[in-house]
Amino acid sequence: LKGNLSKTNLEKWLYSRMIPESRPLYNSINKYLKTINHYYLDNKPFWQNEENWDGFAWINDGDNENSVIAFRRFGDDGQELIVICNFTPVSRDNYKIGLPFLGQYEKIFSTCQGTEDYKTVISKAGPLHGLKFSGDFFIPQMSAAYYKCTKKFKVKLKKPCGLKYKNKKHIPKNL
């Protein structure tokens, strides 16, 4: 190794001496790291409010039987991410977690490739983990997935016994 030892020259030199069979692995790892950096910079909840609890809230931190955790990350502008991590070599299908909104949650990033069929989750009414709504997720083995609520649905209040109210004065206060 002679000449100028700049970082670029060193990388080229190392790459040229790599075993040819390992180059595809190197390229895929490099692409993966670029993708992670791209998502990190584009999604403010990843990096805003890191120094205090305003940017973080647990959804489920007590499922030691399945070794799964779920939490929320918040950005300054109101953006929010749902993060689900599975620390076992067993995939979890229809894994329920509490969700803050009634809506459509899109997977924006996953550490596991090949799970494109499970990109969207529609939440439903029913409290879980201290939140008003819940959703069923597929969580691949040994992975972390990041979801964002891309479409919020309006919550419809049901009137008891099919009653019709002509004006708001007649609506009971407990509805």
Q: Tell me the three-class secondary structure of the chain, residue by residue.
A: CCCCCCHHHHHHHHHHCCCHHHHHHHHHHHHHHHHHHHHHHHCHHHCCCCCCHHHEEEEEEEECCCCEEEEEEECCCCCEEEEEEECCCCCEEEEEEEECCCEEEEEEEECCCCCHHHCEEECEEEEECCEEEEEEEEECCCEEEEEEEEEECCCCCCCHHHCCCCCHHHCCCCC
**Which residue would you say has higher pLDDT here, 155 or 43?**
43
The closest alpha carbon to 45, from 115, 108, 113, 134, belongs to 108
Query: Chain-centre distance of CA 117, in angstroms?
Result: 15
Residues 82-94 have a mean pLDDT of 94
Report residue 160's pLDDT band, with 50, 70 and 90 as the boundaries. Answer: low
- Round to whole Å and give the CA distance between 101 and 38: 26
The sign of the CA dihedral 26, 32, 38, 40 is negative
For residue 98, what are the CA distances in angstroms to 59, 84, 101, 104, 154? Answer: 7, 11, 9, 14, 18
pTM: 0.72
Residues 138-166 have a mean pLDDT of 78
Q: Which of 15-24, 62-71, 96-105 has the lowest mean pLDDT?
A: 15-24
Report residue 90's pLDDT band, with 50, 70 and 90 as the boundaries. Answer: very high
**pLDDT surpasses 90 at 58:** yes
The closest alpha carbon to 145, from 109, 100, 94, belongs to 109
**Which residue would you say has higher pLDDT here, 36 or 175?**
36
Query: What pLDDT is attached to residue 175?
Result: 46
Query: 83 near 70, Cβ under 8 Å?
Result: yes
